[in-house]
C-alpha cells in the first residue's frame, strides 16, 4: 500500500511540476492560465503525448517536435523537484494518512501540497525574473489561512507569526527606503509566518539569511556578482520555508541545546 501511495504521490507531484512550468511562463507573459500548452518559441500547441512530465523531455531529446528549438532544462528539473518534494512531505508528515481516514488528515495533506506548489512558483519566478508577485502571495495567504483553520490551527497564532514575518521585512524596507528588499519580500514574510507559525518563522528567517550570506559571498568571490548586485532573496526564503516545515522543531531544539 505504501509503495502504491508513493507512486501516486510522485505522479501527482510530477504533473503539478509540469503545470508550474506552464503557470510561471504564462504569468510572465501575462497570458491566461487556462488553455492548451504551447511551445514558447514557435507557439504551436503541444499534443498530450509530448506533454508527459520528464519522459517527453527525454524522448524528444530536449527539442520541440515542430520547430526543433531546444527545450529548457528547467522543465524536467522543476517536475522532478516538485515530485521529490511531494514524496518527501508525504513520507515525513503524512505517511499515516491511510491508517487514519479522516477529513482533517486529507485537508492537511492537500494544504502541504498546495504550499509546496506555491513556494516552487515563487522560487522559480524570483530566480528568473527577480520579482515576487502579489498575485501569487496574496491569494496563497488567504487560502492557507483557511486550510490551516480547517486543520484546527489557532487563527490568532497564525496572525501573530505572519505579522512577525511581514514586519521583519517591513522594517528593513522602511529603514533602507526600499533599497535592501522589495515589497514582495514583505508579503512573502507574511506568507511564511502563516505557513510556519511561531517559533518556526524565526528558524526560517535565520536559515535564509545564513544561506543568502554563504551563496552571496561565493558568487562575489567567483566574480559572478558585485557587492551592490541585486539578489533574488525569495529563493532563499522559499527554500528555508521548506526546510523549516520538515525539520523546524529539530533545528530549534538543536540550537537551544547549544546555548544551554
Distance CA 194, CA 141 (A): 7
Least confident piece of the model among 11-15, 39-43, 82-86, 232-236: 39-43
pLDDT of residue 170: 95
Please compute the mean of the pLDDT values over residues 2-11 and round it to a whole number: 91
213: part of which helix (H) or strand (E)?
helix 200-221
Q: Using CA atoms in the order 253, 158, 81, 239, what is the torsion angle rounded to 10 degrees?
A: -60
pLDDT of residue 98: 67
User: pTM above 0.85?
Assistant: yes
The whole-number average pLDDT for the span 188-198 is 96
pLDDT at position 145, please? 96
pLDDT greater than 90 at residue 259: no
Q: How confident is the model at residue 103 (pLDDT cuts 50, 70, 90)?
A: confident
The residue-averaged pLDDT of 65-81 equals 89
Whether 23 shows a pLDDT value over 70: the answer reads yes
Q: What is the pLDDT of residues 144-185, one digit of tens each?
A: 999 999 999 889 989 999 999 999 999 999 998 888 888 899
Domain locations in the chain?
A: 1-101, 103-260
Is 80 exceeded by the pLDDT of residue 92? yes
Q: To 5 degrees, how large is the angle CA 13–CA 247–CA 78?
A: 25
Rounded Cα–Cα distance for residues 48 and 152 (Å): 40
Evaluate if residue 40 carries a pLDDT over 90.
no
Q: Please report the pLDDT score of residue 243 as a whole number.
A: 97
pLDDT at 186: 95
Q: What is the mean pLDDT of residues 182-194?
A: 94
Amino acid at each position: 500500500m505504501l509503495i502504491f501511495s508513493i507512486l501516486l504521490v510522485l505522479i501527482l507531484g510530477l504533473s503539478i511540476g509540469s503545470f508550474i512550468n506552464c503557470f510561471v511562463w504564462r504569468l510572465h507573459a501575462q497570458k491566461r492560465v487556462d488553455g492548451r500548452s504551447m511551445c514558447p518559441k514557435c507557439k504551436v500547441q503541444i499534443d498530450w503525448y509530448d506533454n508527459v512530465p520528464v519522459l517527453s523531455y527525454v524522448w524528444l531529446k530536449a527539442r520541440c517536435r515542430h520547430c526543433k528549438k531546444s527545450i529548457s532544462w528547467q522543465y524536467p528539473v522543476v517536475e522532478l523537484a516538485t515530485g521529490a518534494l511531494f514524496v518527501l512531505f508525504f513520507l515525513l508528515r503524512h505517511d499515516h494518512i491511510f491508517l487514519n481516514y479522516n477529513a482533517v488528515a486529507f485537508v492537511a495533506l492537500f494544504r502541504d501540497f498546495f504550499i509546496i506548489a506555491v513556494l516552487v512558483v515563487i522560487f522559480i519566478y524570483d530566480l528568473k525574473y527577480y520579482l515576487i508577485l502579489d498575485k501569487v502571495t496574496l491569494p496563497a495567504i488567504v487560502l492557507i489561512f483557511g486550510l490551516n483553520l480547517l486543520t484546527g490551527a489557532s487563527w490568532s497564532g497564525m496572525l501573530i507569526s505572519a505579522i512577525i514575518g511581514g514586519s521583519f521585512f517591513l522594517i528593513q524596507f522602511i529603514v533602507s527606503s526600499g533599497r535592501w528588499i522589495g515589497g514582495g519580500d514583505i508579503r512573502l514574510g507574511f506568507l511564511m509566518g502563516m505557513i510556519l507559525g511561531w517559533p518556526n518563522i524565526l528558524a526560517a528567517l535565520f536559515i535564509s539569511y545564513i544561506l543568502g550570506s554563504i551563496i552571496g559571498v561565493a558568487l562575489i568571490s567567483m566574480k559572478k556578482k558585485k557587492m551592490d548586485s541585486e539578489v533574488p532573496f525569495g529563493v532563499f526564503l522559499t527554500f528555508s520555508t521548506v526546510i523549516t516545515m520538515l525539520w523546524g522543531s529539530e533545528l530549534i531544539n538543536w540550537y537551544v541545546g547549544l546555548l544551554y
